[in-house]
Amino acid sequence: MSSETPHAAEGLDAYEVALKDERSAVIRGATIADAAQQLTVERETHTLGKGTMQLLEELSQSVEEQERAIDRFIAGQWAGLEGASIVAEVDGELAGEVNLKRFPLARLRHNARLGLGVSPKFQALGIGRALMEAAIRWARMTQEHEDPGVTRIDLSHIGGNDRAHALYESLGFRQVGVHTNKVRDPDGTLRTDVDMELLLD
């Protein structure tokens, strides 16, 4: 973390949340040391039907590649509030992650794009909701240090991902568009993509 910009880390301080199975998760900012486990989470979370947009071969192919990706991300995260990579850890194991990326253009800087994934074995325990709440908290934190900071979060999910849609709606996101046939699987199956946004005061 850069000493000149301590404010950037504030929204990523570690804290614990209780899960539905009596265990707890630590919610904290990602570090380079998380690369290998992050890769595992992304591979395990990968489902062609409704979940992740990338194909399996489009995820990092090695821990080193993932480290480079996190390094770029974290450099921006600590240094300039450019985005955040937040993870959930359960009993020392990485269970899920949420990533927020800001747009570099001045007129778009108040927007952040969100991506979320929880490993199947840790799903339905409250981790997805906890990570979303952490992401929204981080966005609000940017407002304390910049004018305007992040005042809009957007995301998209593949049509039929009802669990994700309900989670986002319960947090105040609203559907703003449906793109018919935007997603094409390798076997030719065409799927809709649903855009959602959250406007923060």
**Where along the sequence are the contacts to ligand COA (CB under 6 A)?**
45, 47, 50-52, 116-118, 123-129, 155, 157, 161, 163-164, 166-167
Minimal distance, residue 57 CB to ligand COA, in Å = 17
Minimal distance, residue 172 CB to ligand COA, in Å = 14
Say which DSSP state 100 is in.
E
Minimal distance, residue 148 CB to ligand COA, in Å = 25
Distance CA 118, CA 8 (A): 25
- Residue 153: what residue type? I
Distance CA 38, CA 94 (A): 7
Specify the residue, 28 or 129, whose C-beta has the smaller distance to ligand COA.
Answer: 129
Name the one residue in this structure whose structure tokens are 């966005």: 139
Specify the residue, 35 or 98, whose C-beta has the smaller distance to ligand COA.
Answer: 98
Specify the residue, 134 or 150, whose C-beta has the smaller distance to ligand COA.
Answer: 134
**CB 84, CB 12: distance < 8 Å:** yes
The closest residue (CB) to ligand COA is 128
**CB 153, CB 136: distance < 8 Å:** yes
Minimal distance, residue 86 CB to ligand COA, in Å = 13
